[in-house]
């Protein structure tokens, strides 16, 4: 109980500071993460209920986009699946033309090496004939200057799923894109190749797009089904968790590898345990779009699309200003 009395005041003072400044200090963020573990997620659930009441959802008229034209019944079924299992794999695929365009972009844009190369190189174009690191991450500003990624980030079908799952006006808080490559047989913590939960925000939902074919050998997303809702005491800790501990703590058929052809789209609540499997061979290109119920938490980027954004994108962002509050339009 002493820990509760210590962390709650730090969290609430930090949250008040965030409301006034839109910034989260380090100690409140750490307290937030520790409360999540101590309360087994209860602190986040309670805060999410408060945010749902203070920030009720939009009355959306359409859910048409890359996921198809979603009616209320379809949205309900998808969100129920995420709530039950922690993820949903969509029947539709990202069109081949979009995949080709995004792949071309990824080969022409410098990426951050994660971790940095032993040669001291920190940025490089991706070249599968000269792999320098297990992960090549593209700067968020660079990818969000690209028109197609702007369109996917603002896609209305993603938006309606996010709003329904979060039960409030969603906030677009992260768009990411990276190459993963066969580099070492050892799992890289920095490249997120060990099991962990994400806790940068209070509640969030991520959409992943496979832009290459993904099988068991080239880095499937691994997820422990149902772990977003409950976990054994043995794995309730903040940090990386070994495969051995996960296998001992969960039924074998709940530890999943999610493979799929290029174009596969999934929605995942990465509050549950997950990782990217170490690549034995080949490569994987992935795009991620994330929505949250609050920007409290880890540092987030301000994105300037005042020059790169189309009139249509800017109009949509102004219409849903709360959801795109980190953008300079």
Dump pLDDT digits (tens) for 110-150: 999 999 988 889 999 999 999 999 999 999 999 999 999 99
- Which whole number is the average pLDDT over 304-323? 97
160 Cβ contact partners less than 8 Å away, ≥ 6 residues apart: 60, 62, 63, 70, 75
Task: Report the distance separating Cα 107 and Cα 110, nearest Å.
Answer: 8
pLDDT value, residue 317: 97
Burial class of residue 253 in the structure, from the number of CB atoms within 10 Å of its CB (0-12 exposed, 13-18 middle, 19+ buried):
exposed
pTM over 0.75: yes
Above 80 in pLDDT, residue 102? yes
Q: Phi and psi dihedrals of 292, rounded to 5?
A: -140, 175
Q: Phi and psi dihedrals of 25, rounded to 5?
A: -75, 160
What percentage of the chain carries pLDDT values higher than 70?
A: 98
> CA gyration radius for the chain?
19
pLDDT value, residue 282: 95
Contact 110, 123 (CB under 8 A): yes
> Using omega within 30 degrees of 0 as the cis cutoff, is the peptide bond preceding 281 cis?
no
pLDDT value, residue 62: 75
Contact 143, 209 (CB under 8 A): no
- Domain 60-328, CATH number (from 3.30.360.10, 1.10.10.10, 3.60.110.10, 2.60.120.620): 2.60.120.620
Q: 6: pLDDT confidence band, cut at 50, 70 and 90?
A: confident
| Nearest in space to 209 (alpha carbons), one of 98, 317, 322 | 98
| Nearest in space to 285 (alpha carbons), one of 230, 175, 207, 208 | 208
Cβ density class 177-188: b for 16+ within 10 Å, e for less? bbbbbbbeeebb
125 Cβ contact partners less than 8 Å away, ≥ 6 residues apart: 107, 108, 109, 110, 111
2 Cβ contact partners less than 8 Å away, ≥ 6 residues apart: none
Domain ranges of the chain: 60-328
Above 80 in pLDDT, residue 26? yes
Report the mean per-residue pLDDT for the chain: 95
């Amino acid at each position: 109980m002493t820990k509760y009395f210590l962390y709650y005041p730090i969290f609430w003072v930090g949250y008040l500071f965030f409301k006034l400044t839109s910034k989260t200090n380090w100690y409140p963020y750490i307290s937030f993460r520790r409360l999540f573990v101590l309360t087994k997620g209860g602190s986040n659930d309670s805060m999410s209920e408060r945010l749902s009441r203070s920030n009720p959802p939009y009355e959306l008229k359409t859910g048409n986009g890359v996921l198809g034209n979603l009616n209320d019944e379809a949205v309900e079924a998808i969100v129920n699946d995420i709530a039950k299992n922690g993820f949903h794999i969509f029947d539709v695929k990202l069109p081949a033309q979009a995949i080709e365009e995004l792949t071309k972009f990824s080969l022409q844009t410098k990426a951050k090496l994660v971790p940095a190369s032993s040669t001291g190189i920190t940025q490089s174009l991706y070249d599968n004939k000269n792999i320098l690191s297990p992960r090549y991450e593209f700067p968020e500003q660079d990818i969000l200057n690209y028109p197609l990624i702007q369109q996917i980030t603002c896609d209305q079908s993603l938006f309606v799923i996010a709003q329904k799952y979060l039960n409030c006006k969603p906030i677009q808080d992260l768009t990411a894109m990276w190459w993963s490559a066969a580099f070492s047989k050892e799992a890289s913590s920095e490249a997120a190749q060990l099991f962990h939960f994400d806790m940068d925000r209070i509640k969030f939902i991520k959409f992943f797009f496979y832009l290459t074919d993904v099988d068991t050998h080239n880095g499937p997303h691994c997820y422990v089904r149902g772990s977003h809702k409950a976990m054994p005491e043995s794995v309730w800790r903040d940090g990386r968790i070994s495969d051995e501990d996960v296998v001992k703590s969960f039924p074998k058929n709940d530890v999943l590898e999610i493979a799929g052809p290029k174009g596969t789209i999934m929605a995942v609540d990465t509050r549950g345990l997950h990782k990217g499997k170490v690549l034995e061979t080949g490569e994987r290109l992935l795009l991620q779009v994330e929505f949250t119920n609050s920007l409290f938490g880890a540092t987030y980027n301000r994105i300037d699309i005042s020059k790169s954004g189309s009139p249509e994108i800017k109009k949509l962002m102004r219409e849903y200003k709360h959801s795109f509050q980190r953008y300079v339009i």
